[in-house]
Structure 1
């Protein structure tokens, strides 16, 4: 019987649900020695904690992985506190100011305008990939359109897309996935190169603005934002577009193929996407620090303690989602999952992420209606503390 989380084990990301169900029933406030944190597992508790930033503070919650060695921390230097001023890592009033600035670029009109561009990117990719009749979905299909859309949005030149993708992957591994000491140092060097690149991009747009997110944010330096805040905003949005959104698409396609629900009727894609995010979310949760003693279900979480808000567990809470391990394409409350967070930290890019997922499913279903898994190929997930993504997915059509 599993007694604790173990991010080095395959089950932690691939199939934690029997363990999480036991925690919800027996120990809804669980002290994980492995994570060095308390874990909230019930939907109501996770939602309430997201909605209570005064007691469950985001300040410092994303800052430097606790698994890094002293040598790696020294290598990172001041950047060991990277994300210290990112919008998801601060509380009001800084959060209010940062969120207001970022939201200027995510208006409904701006998001809608990206739909046709993203659709075209998917169509162009399938024009090239289609004749092959087989592919690794993760490597060959799932990432490229989102990477290119994000690059255009941010203002990354096409020639730099591969550099950014490789370094974002290294960033993910460094901060969100357990690594041996030697590998940590390699990843730290890559991460510093990545920050230097973004810093130079910001400086270039300050001199010569263009119609992109970097120029918009750079124009606010000195009035609403600092240079470091702009670098961190850009770096983190690139992570979402290069990693989180493609991971969700891969998880979703795998689920639909396994459930014999491919291709999805266009009229059902919106709800199917929500149900896939619920049952196979790319985000497993968020960390918070409690600012005062919090007593919940008879357990007192001491002030200053780290807490994981397990959205993965919340999305499988049987009191909210009946028969939670069953995929129900028309589940009426599928969108009650908390993959994008809740409250003041609800993901500013949620609308764009949803649009990308729905658009990709529509185009892929129409262009590759006979898509299927390659028989006998193992399904493996990347090991991570807070993310779910496939390492590879062999498909044919």
Structure 2
């Protein structure tokens, strides 16, 4: 894979053609620099599922699995589809950026989702200590309170950018308190997490990569100092719990990467899913959601508008599938976005069905040994936010005259803004 093959510069490769009858754009390959790639990839993915379920993407430099059964099976087969190094996105960075990052160009090399057993087993066991049912239940009450306090301030206003003013703050605060980030540092962490995401998971031109690398290194230094502080003064937070395991179960670097990545989820992935979900419910005329349907509605929204688009793996051996041989060492994208729209599993896959009986069979949280350790907390946050928002803002609606746009990303779907009123 070349250094610039994931920069998203759509001028370097024509990845689309136009239907001569309708004029519609028809994608021939993934294109992380194009608006449709995140916002509306489903006609393209449907063609792949039917015609090329194992698709070799020149743009991604990877083979792509698109059918639900194949994606699920690959998640469950770490022997053939290895996670080791799968999140190390340094292949998208220029040589100058990698030199600036130094050892951190391989960031996430020891994160739990980026390794295979036995390291994975050890890391997951350590992290799971903080996500007991009792701990998750306690966080529900705190998250509910944070949403109520936010709406106490905002509801008299009558309008807001849902992304910038409503969707992110409660999750950011909950995650900060869980990790042990002081309230005064929340804004700093949020800004640096954006650098983290953009540098490693979103296509960027060379000059912008260098700017983001500065912010990312500052962020790592902050987390490193937080770990060092908890080693001297332990508190009732995740950082202290993980720091207490250094030298016995975990290394210092593993703890820094665990904390850094959980902060990404709370500052980015969970709020993005809430934004996608609210947009879907408003467009479908399903707002507010009846309390008895909130849990299933949230699963259906994750299925149809997932904030996570998939995961990368490496083929640990030659893999023959649907007449295609994926060579050993090849990068493979497990497209959970495509799997969630597989009509053989979800009838009428592009149709929103609020009480769809098997909506939770989506693979947004992965599957098998790499099923997201924070899935229960993520689901809880989504349900709780929908309950509070639906009760407090039953008249929520999209503000007229505003376009909906998504940020460009390799593996994530998130709105840049969402103007609403009530």
Say yes or no: TM over 0.5.
yes
1:78 aligns with 2:74: no
**Aligned residue in 2 for 1:235:** 260
Cα separation, 2, equivalents of 1:70 and 1:64? 13
2:327 to 287, 298, 302: 302
Given the alignment of the two structures, is residue 39 of structure 1 paired with residue 64 of structure 2, yes or no? yes
Report 1:46-57 matches (<5 A). Answer: 46-57=71-82
Deviation of the 1:67 alpha carbon: 1.9
Correspondences of 1:1-397 after superposition (within 5 Å): 1-397=26-422
SS at match of 1:84: coil
Distance 2:304 2:200 in 1: 25
Q: Distance in 2 between matches of 1:2 and 1:192?
A: 37
Which structure 1 segments of 5+ residues have no match? none
Shift of 1:66: 2.3
Q: Which structure 1 residue ranges, 4+ long, deviate > 4 Å from structure 2?
A: none
When normalised by structure 1's length, the TM-score is 1.00
User: 2: CA distance between counterparts of 1:98 and 1:241?
Assistant: 19
Deviation of the 1:375 alpha carbon? 1.2
Instruction: Name the structure, 1 or 2, with higher relative contact order (CA <8 Å, separation 6+).
Output: 1
What CA distance in whole angstroms lies between the structure 2 residues aligned with 1:376 and 1:275?
27
Deviations 1:258-283 (A, max 9, x none): 00000000110000000000000000
TM-score (norm 2): 0.94
Deviation (angstroms), 1:64: 2.8
Q: Is the 8 A contact 1:65 1:176 kept in 2?
A: no
In structure 2, list runs of 5 or more residues that go unmatched. 1-25
- Count of residue correspondences: 397
Distance in 2 (CA, whole Å) between partners of 1:335 and 1:108 is: 19
Deviation of the 1:212 alpha carbon: 0.2
User: Do the aligned residues in 2 keep the contact of 1:289 with 1:305 (CA within 8 Å)?
Assistant: yes
Q: Is the 8 A contact 1:382 1:389 kept in 2?
A: yes
- CA RMSD, 1 decimal: 0.4
Q: Distance in 1 between matches of 2:257 and 2:90?
A: 16
Distance in 1 separating the partners of 2:69 and 2:36 = 25
